[in-house]
Structure 1
C-alpha cells in the first residue's frame, strides 16, 4: 500500500505528548482467521457498501444487519464501510438541520431525535441503541466469514459536546475570540459552518495526536480492517502521517478518505471520493452538462492523480441522499445507467444502504428512518454488476488498474463509449447519456456478449446503434 514515511522530527515531537489518555482495548476473541490481510490485490475488483445500521432495519441494530450480510455477498461486496457506531452526545444534539434538541420541549418528542452519528461522545464505546460490543464483534466476524473487510467511519476533526475531553482537556479544542471551545469555524471568515452539535479539535496542539491514535488502535485491536476518515482534509496531514503508520504496525489497513485531495493519496490513504465524477454525472442527468464534459473530466483526472490512486465511484451516500436527494430525485431515469458507469469506469463502486432495494426517499439524518427491504429492480442489477466487477480483470480499478480508452462515436457529445482492458480481457461500455432517443455509430467491431442480457452481439464498421433515452450496453469479449 502507498504510505509515506513519518519524519524523525514528528516522531521526536510526539514522543513527548501526553500519556494519560491511553486506552486498553477489549481483545477480540481468538478465532479462526477467515480472511487474508488487506492487500493491494483486494482493491482491484472490490465493491464497497456503506452500512447505515440505524436505518437498515426496523430494529436499527447490529444483529438485524449482520443476518443480512450473506445478501450483500450476492452483490459482490468486499469492503463493508460501517457508519459511526459510537455513543452520540446529548448536549446540543441536532433534532433537525436548524434545531437543537434543547429547542424541543415535549419529552416524548425528544426521544425520536437520535442525533448525528458524527457527534461522538466516546470513541471507544458502542452506541447502545445499536447493540453491544459482542454484537459488533459478531458483525465483524460474519463479514470476514463472507469475504468482506470491515472499515469503520472515523471522525477525527471534532467530538460531541459531551465528550470528556471538553472538561478534562479543553486545550485539545479550538477556541473562539472569547476563549470558549467552539464548533468548527470557516478559517477564512471565522464564521461557523453550522455544525453546532460538535466541538472542533485543535491539531495545532500535537498532544491531541496520541489520544486520537490510541482510540483508533482500540478498533484495530478489535479486528477491523481500516477506516473511512470523515472530512480527512480538515485534519492536518501531519496527524495522518503520524497515526496511520503506527496503526499499520499492528496490521495492514485499508484507508478511505472523505476527500479528493491528491496530496493525501500520495501519503497515507488508499482511496478517495470521486466527487468530481459524481457531480458531472448529476449535471449530465439534469441536462446542464454533456458527455463532452465527461471526456474533459477523464483527461483532468488522469493528469491530476497517479495510476495507483483509487477513487470511490458513487451515485449516492448518506450525505448525498439526506441533503440532495436519492439518485432517483437527482438522476431520474438515468439512475441505473450511472450506477452501471460506476462499475465500469476506473475505481471502486459504492452501494449506499437502500440503493439495492430501490430506495427513493431521503433518509432522515437525525431520526430513525428504516428502508423498505423489498427486492425490486436494482438488486438484480447490482448482483450482475458485482459479479462482473469481481471476476473480470478488465474492470480492475485498484492499485494496478485496467486501461481506460475512449471509443470514438458519431455523436461524442451525447454518447459515452469506452473500452476497459487488461491482459486478454476487454469490456466495452456504450451509453446514450441523454433523455432523447438517438442513433449513432461506434468505432469498434467484433463479436461480443451483451453482459446484462446474455445476448450475442456482432458490431460491424459503420453499424448503427438505436438507443432509447439513457440506454446502455456492457459488452464483454
Structure 2
C-alpha cells in the first residue's frame, strides 16, 4: 500500500489528518528499499493506490476539486474510488505539482533494481465525484456525452435512475466526531447513478459501495443481462485507452480490481491491444468465482487469477483447525490445466493479517500454509508488506475498525513494518531477533520457490491421501513431492498445535516417477531450516516428530 509503505510517522491518531499521521510518498521507496525486496526473492512490486482517488485532503490550489466527505470513506479515501484515471494520487508526491514525474521516477528506480512494476486498474466503478482534469487533449470525460434521461443505453458510460436523486446513507459518519468543509449529509446527484456493486437504488445502504458508481460496458443488467457489444461500447474504448496510457508509463502489469464484474468480452478485446504496447505486460484478475476461472484465462486472456476462494480460504481454515489437509489435493486437481495462472497468497489489503487474533494470532502458525502456497504448483505467490515481519493490523484507525486488517482508508503508520524501515534505511536493524528470523524464512522460501527447478516447473505428486489412509499421519499433516531432473523435493507440513510423531511413506510408483531407485538408499535434508535430516527405510518411508506448525522442504539424495 504505497501511502503506508514509506510513512515514518508513528502518531497513529484515530481519524488523523495527513499532517497529524503522515503519509508515505513515492520518493520514500528508495533504492535501499527496493534492493532489500529484490534480495528477498521478490520479482514484482504491486504499488497499490497509485491512480488518483477521492481523498479528504485539500489540493484545490493545484486545480484538484475538493471531494465531498459524504461520499468518501475515511480521510485518506478508498484507493478503489478512482477520481481521475489519468492522474496519480497527490498524497504520494513531495511536490504535488510534479506528482506524475515522481511516479515515473519510482518506476525507473524499481526497474533499475531489477524489479517490475504492477499497479491497480479499477475497471468496474469510479468515485461519485469522478472528473478527470488530466485527461489527454481530445478525450471526452466519462459520462460527458451520456443520455441521462434513460436508465440504460449501450453508448452511456454510467447507469442512471431517472427522476431520482441520490441520498447519502442515513447516519453515515466518515470522520467520526470530526468536521470537514464538505461534510453535511448531502450529495447533489440527479439523476442518481447506480452504485459500484450493482445496487439499483438512489438510497444505498452504508455497507454498500455507495461512494462509487458502476461503469456500463454495454450490459443491460436489469433486463436479463442482455449485451450490446456491436458497435463496440464507448466505455470499452475509454478504458482501453486508459490502460494504454499507463502501459506507456512503462508499468509492467495491472492488477484488475473486481475483474469478473466486467464482461469477459471486454478483456478479450482490450488485453491484446494493450500487449501491442508491451508484449510482456501482465494482467492479474481479482476473481472469486471458480466456475469462471477458465473463461477469464482462455477467453479473457488474463495471465493470472486470484486463488482466494479455493487455496487461500482452505489454508486459512486449516490454520484455524477447521479444514482437512485432504482438501488441498482436491483443489490442485480442479486447477489441473491452470496451475501457472493461479496467484497464491495469505495476505493482501482486503484480508486480515495472519498475526491478528482474527486469523492465526501468531505469524509462525501460518508458516506451513505459506510453504504450501509457495510450493504446491508453479503459479506465482504474493506477500503483503509487513507480512514478513509479523504485522498484526492492530488498532481502530478511524474509518477502519479493529478488524485485523491494515487500513486502506486512513492515514496511518504500520508499526512492525516501520521497524524494518528503520527511518528510511530499510535494513531491519530495529526488528526483534524473532522478526529477523521470520523475515529470513520468507526470504529463503521465496528464493527457493522462484529458483529451484522442481518448484519452478517440476512434476507434482500427492502423498497426503495415501499416508492418511495408511494411518501414518492425521488430516492435520500434509505431504507432497515436486521433482524435475536431479531435484526431488518432499514438502511436509503440520497444522497441529502439539508435537506429533509421523511416518511418511512414498508409494513405489511415485518414487520411480521421480527417477529414484526403490532399491537404493536415500536420505532427505531440509532446505528451509537446514537442521533436519531423515533416512528412507526399505519401505520408502521415514519417521519424524513434527513440532507444532512445522514445515520442511526435504531434498532427496
Tell me, yes or no, if structure 1 residue 363 matches structure 2 residue 406: yes
Determine helix, strand or coil for the equivalent of 1:168: coil
Separation of aligned partners in 1, 2:391 and 2:197:
34
| Root-mean-square deviation over aligned CA pairs | 2.6
Partner of 2:360: 331
1:451 to 527, 531, 536: 527
Cα offset, 1:126, TM superposition: 0.9
Determine helix, strand or coil for the equivalent of 2:192: coil
**8 Å CA contact retained: 2:501, 2:543:** yes
Determine helix, strand or coil for the equivalent of 1:296: helix
Tell me, yes or no, if structure 1 residue 354 matches structure 2 residue 386: yes
Separation of aligned partners in 2, 1:318 and 1:78:
19
Separation of aligned partners in 2, 1:294 and 1:282:
12
Separation of aligned partners in 2, 1:320 and 1:417:
27
2:473 to 393, 396, 411: 411
216-225 or 371-380, which deviates more: 371-380
1:66 to 19, 30, 36: 30
Partner of 2:458: 402
Segments of structure 2 that go 5 or more residues without pairing to the other structure are 8-22, 59-67, 94-98, 132-140, 147-155, 165-190, 219-227, 394-404, 420-430, 507-520
Over 3 Å counting, the alpha-carbon distance change for 1:467 and 1:320 in structure 2 is same
**8 Å CA contact retained: 1:277, 1:313:** yes
1:202 to 213, 216, 232: 216
Tell me, yes or no, if structure 1 residue 173 matches structure 2 residue 202: no
Separation of aligned partners in 2, 1:163 and 1:188:
19
Partner of 1:254: 282
Map 1:212-227 to 2 at 5 A: 212-227=239-254
Partner of 1:435: 497
**8 Å CA contact retained: 1:328, 1:335:** no
Tell me, yes or no, if structure 1 residue 274 matches structure 2 residue 307: yes
2:319 to 285, 299, 304: 285
135-144 or 191-200, which deviates more: 191-200
Map 1:184-195 to 2 at 5 A: 184-186=196-198, 194-195=208-209
**8 Å CA contact retained: 1:433, 1:469:** yes
Map 1:121-160 to 2 at 5 A: 121-131=83-93, 132-160=99-127
Per-residue CA deviation, residues 428-474 of structure 1 (Å, 9 max, x unaligned), is 21011222321111114722221122246232234321112211111
**8 Å CA contact retained: 1:316, 1:326:** no
Partner of 1:391: 451
Separation of aligned partners in 2, 1:125 and 1:188:
29
- TM-score by structure 2 length? 0.68
Over 3 Å counting, the alpha-carbon distance change for 1:230 and 1:395 in structure 2 is same
1:301 to 335, 341, 358: 335
**8 Å CA contact retained: 1:320, 1:326:** no
Partner of 2:547: 468
**8 Å CA contact retained: 2:340, 2:380:** no
Cα offset, 1:416, TM superposition: 0.3
Per-residue CA deviation, residues 80-101 of structure 1 (Å, 9 max, x unaligned), is 111121222259x9xxxxxx93
Determine helix, strand or coil for the equivalent of 1:118: coil
Determine helix, strand or coil for the equivalent of 1:228: strand
Separation of aligned partners in 2, 1:446 and 1:457:
11
Determine helix, strand or coil for the equivalent of 1:74: helix
Per-residue CA deviation, residues 6-27 of structure 1 (Å, 9 max, x unaligned), is xxxxxxxxxxxxxxxxxxxxxx
Separation of aligned partners in 2, 1:103 and 1:162:
8
- TM-score by structure 1 length? 0.79
Determine helix, strand or coil for the equivalent of 1:439: strand
Separation of aligned partners in 2, 1:103 and 1:185:
15
Cα offset, 1:77, TM superposition: 0.7
**8 Å CA contact retained: 1:329, 1:360:** no
Separation of aligned partners in 2, 1:457 and 1:230:
44
Determine helix, strand or coil for the equivalent of 1:411: coil
Cα offset, 1:370, TM superposition: 2.2
Map 1:228-243 to 2 at 5 A: 228-243=255-270
Over 3 Å counting, the alpha-carbon distance change for 1:265 and 1:83 in structure 2 is same
Partner of 2:376: 345
**8 Å CA contact retained: 1:54, 1:60:** yes
Cα offset, 1:166, TM superposition: 5.7
Q: Which has the higher contact order (CA 8 A, sep 6+)?
A: 1
Segments of structure 1 that go 5 or more residues without pairing to the other structure are 1-51, 94-99, 105-109
**8 Å CA contact retained: 2:325, 2:475:** yes
Per-residue CA deviation, residues 155-191 of structure 1 (Å, 9 max, x unaligned), is 0001112213465244201223645312134479997
Over 3 Å counting, the alpha-carbon distance change for 1:70 and 1:169 in structure 2 is farther
Separation of aligned partners in 1, 2:458 and 2:474:
23
Give 1 or 2 for the bigger CA radius of gyration: 2
Tell me, yes or no, if structure 1 residue 81 matches structure 2 residue 46: yes
